[in-house]
Structure 1
Amino acid sequence: MNPAYRLRVTQAQDIAATFEVRAQTPDNAIAPERLALLGITPDSQREALERGEQLSWVVERDAVVHGFCCADPGSGEVLVLAVRAGHQGQGLGRALLQAALDGLRAAGSPPAWLWGAADPSLRAPGFYRSQGWQPTGRRNAHGDEELRAPPP
């Protein structure tokens, strides 16, 4: 990861910034209003962190959050990995994904997995495969494919 950035565990005061980042990803931006319709709000995220139902990391530079990753230690699912537009190619996604894998393993979680976009015109499918993640053949109702993390 570019040394100008710093990876750390997400704090409650970072939650609003993660919603900004999610709305500013280049390929799959989701506005806070749409997330709220799915039950994902700053309050729900804060509560999940406080109860230990979610593990989360941010990458910041100059005290500004530019990427984050959240995972569910109960299921092993990587819930979201997002990097703000203009900050790709710095190793942030790779560092965040590795933090999630390490955190899930340390928590004794089941093997890591995620739902990822299957559209080859997007960055995500190539990114996850370059990190060793493999499709299982399963797809969800949105057409996303299930990917499994490489063995440790």
Structure 2
Amino acid sequence: MDIVYRAARAQDVAACIDIRGKTRENAFSEQDLAAVGVTLESWGAAVRDGALPGYVATVQGRICGYCFGDRETGEIVVLALLPEYEGRGAGKTLLGLVIRDLKELGFTRLFLGCATDPAVRSHGFYRRLGWRSTGTFDDANDEVLEYFP
């Protein structure tokens, strides 16, 4: 089955929240997200007003992954896939689409928070794509990586 990519819409956010709770690593339930201020309403509004540009990956019309960035800071806020779609290039493609959009907005440096444990998939994923450690950590104790598109 082919994976189709498209710009995210506010009505996609409910599916994105559901997927975030089903990821193999770094899963966050709807309640976990709400505890840090991310709700259907807040995320939907940020997509609607363009604060969080993003893309979704779909298979037969069903969302199987997504990536969003922050248009004000250049942060890659989230990249998530359902486990059964890992290893098919969807994460790399979604990330590339958001990087392209943030670059078009004028960013010459992007950043994100990443697990410090080499056993976690994201640790190697971002580094293989050219992201480099800044030597700093965010509030969640994730390592801050940067990328220069």
TM-score (normalizing by structure 1): 0.94
Instruction: Give, in whole Å, the separation in 2 of the partners of 1:141 and 1:46.
Output: 24
Instruction: Give, in whole Å, the separation in 2 of the partners of 1:13 and 1:110.
Output: 30
Task: Note the residue ranges of structure 1 that are not aligned, 5 or more in a row.
Answer: none
Pairwise CA distance, 1:143: 2.1
Structure 1 contact 74–109 (Cα < 8 Å) conserved: no
Per the alignment, residue 108 of structure 1 pairs with 106
Equivalent runs, 1:46-61 vs 2, <5 Å = 46-61=44-59
Per the alignment, residue 18 of structure 1 pairs with 16
Q: Are residues 1:67 and 2:65 paired?
A: yes
Pairwise CA distance, 1:20: 1.1
Q: Are residues 1:42 and 2:40 paired?
A: yes
Choose which of 24, 27, 30 in structure 1 pairs with 2:28. Answer: 30
Pairwise CA distance, 1:140: 2.1
Pairwise CA distance, 1:50: 1.8
Q: 1:77 to 1:83 in 2, by over 3 A?
A: same
Instruction: Give, in whole Å, the separation in 1 of the partners of 2:75 and 2:33.
Output: 18
Task: Note the residue ranges of structure 2 that are not aligned, 5 or more in a row.
Answer: none
User: What number of residue pairs does the alignment pair up?
Assistant: 149
Choose which of 127, 130, 133 in structure 2 pairs with 1:129. Answer: 127
Pairwise CA distance, 1:110: 5.1
Residue 133 of structure 2 aligns with an amino acid whose one-letter code is P
Q: Are residues 1:141 and 2:109 paired?
A: no
TM-score (normalizing by structure 2): 0.95
